[in-house]
Copies of this chain bind each other. A is one copy, B any other.
Amino acid sequence: MSRRPSVIIVGGGFGGLCAAQALKSAPVDVTLIDRNNYHLFQPLLYQVATGSLSAGEIAAPLRSVLSRQKNARVLLGAVVDIDPMRKHVLLADGADFEYDWLIVATGSQSAYYGHEAWREWAPSLKSVEEAIDVRHKILYAFEVAERIGDPAQRRAWLTFVIVGAGPTGVELAGAIAEIARQTLKNDFRSIDPKEAQIILMDSAARVLPPFPEDLAEKAKRSLVKLGVEVRTGVMVKDIDKEGLTIETHAGTHRLEARTVIWAGGVTVPALGKTLANRTKAETDRSGRIKIGPQLTVANYPDLYVIGDLALALNPDGMPLPGVAQVAMQQGTYVAKAIMGRVQGEPQQADFKYFDKGNLAVIGRWSAVANAFGVHMSGFPAWLIWAFIHLMYIVQFQSRILVLLQWAIQDLTFSRGARLITGTAATDFNFNNELASIAKKPTDGDKVVVNF
């Protein structure tokens, strides 16, 4: 009995899922392994973090996406090792699978550049759990501020700092400004949420480095109009429970801020490092694995690496950016290459990236877009952003719901998913926080209530 060739895909993100779907009619057995049971539409994760959407609305169960694809199966599991010589992958639970072709598409994780301790005080935005955590932090800060009498303490609770002014940082800052100025406008009695200070900082000289200068300038102006303070050329020296220590050309400063969100940079997950060791592949500073023009690792023609984990170079020698469209095009390319090889085609064409442009949204009905070389901003750019993002959300169901959530929210400024969950809202910290403040001499021993 002849066995069908086995294709194992590690990771159900944009790259891995595209590859699996593009192998639909190939005479191979596809195994997609992911540590989560869902595909996550990461570009909208900031909307989960800011209470616009529920996690279920930007995630699709991998099983249901591949439900009707008879040559594909989904395994929930964590791949911990790859043996590229024996062509095996090993799972944390001890299971072991053999492959004929392997596609590694694990994605990236946030990097704190040697300051892992900062993660505790400044969560990033890479997973559903982190997004819920960030949402908790933002909403909770307003709740504590409402209960505090001391003005300095209150100010620290109402200061929100986003470190990193790439697309995620810009989108987060815009959304938090809208929460403070619109969504929560009438919701508190002791504080005015508009007092909130939202600071977007970056060590670079301007926001949105991947965008052209003029669009970055427009984005900055939109942010300022929304009430965001944009600080460029700022180095973060330290982050702790109470705030940050920063360095500018004017010296070192202290900034009291109880909510810090990390939109800094990315690195590869542990499996990426393991794979680089096993294959002796070249990597760049952030650990990405160098791949050839056909997206395979040197000396391992059956081992593909795609998406954020891969260091793929443009013909001009520049690395491709870690964005969804690169991963998706790579996933489709690899699927086609494998099909060609299964059918005995001797030679595959090299991968060519078709850059459709960049988009970043800044609050309600405003965005910047660099599409096919055309620079756009404001409402037209937002329309393109909304259209593209909706089209890409995998499930039909989610698409309608997300559209509807947005329509309601954009018309009413209300945000439906403003639940503080996970850790109980009135947990140990909240009580301690308030109890310790209440005991400080600055505001006496009573919590102030103003009607």
Interface, chain A (partner B; CB < 8 A): 4, 29, 31, 35-38, 51, 53-57, 59-61, 63-64, 67-68, 71, 73-78, 91-97, 128-129, 132, 139, 143, 146-147, 183-190, 395, 397-398, 400-401, 404-405, 408, 412, 414, 416-422, 424-426, 430-435, 438-439, 446-447, 449, 451
Contacts and interface: CB of A to CB of B under 8 A. Distances in A.
A95 B416 contact: no
Give this chain's copy count.
2
Contact of A438 (B95, B186, B422): B95
Contact of A95 (B190, B400, B412, B434): B434
B55 A419 contact: yes
Nearest to A439: B94
Contacts of A431: 78, 91-94
Nearest to A188: B63
B37 A418 contact: yes
Contact of A419 (B38, B67, B420): B38
A312 B92 CA distance: 55
Contact of A37 (B67, B132, B425): B425
A434 B92 CA distance: 9
B430 A93 contact: yes
B35 A76 contact: no
Contacts of A408: 397, 400
A121 B100 CA distance: 41
Nearest to A62: B187
A180 to B, nearest CB: 13
A353 B446 CA distance: 41
| A-B interface, 4 closest residue pairs, ranked by CB to CB distance from nearest | A56-B417, A54-B54, A93-B434, A63-B187
Nearest to A96: B446
Contacts of A398: 416
Contacts of A416: 56-57, 60, 395, 397-398, 401
A420 to B, nearest CB: 5
Given A67-B186, A71-B451, A76-B147, 4 more contacts: A93-B431, A93-B432, A397-B416, A422-B422
A28 to B, nearest CB: 10
A92 B397 contact: no
7 contacts: A31-B449, A55-B419, A55-B421, A64-B183, A64-B187, A64-B414, A76-B425
A431 to B, nearest CB: 4
B75 A147 contact: yes
A35 B428 CA distance: 12
Nearest to A95: B447
B94 A419 contact: no
Contacts of A132: 421
Given A401-B401, A421-B55, A73 B189 contact: yes
A83 to B, nearest CB: 16
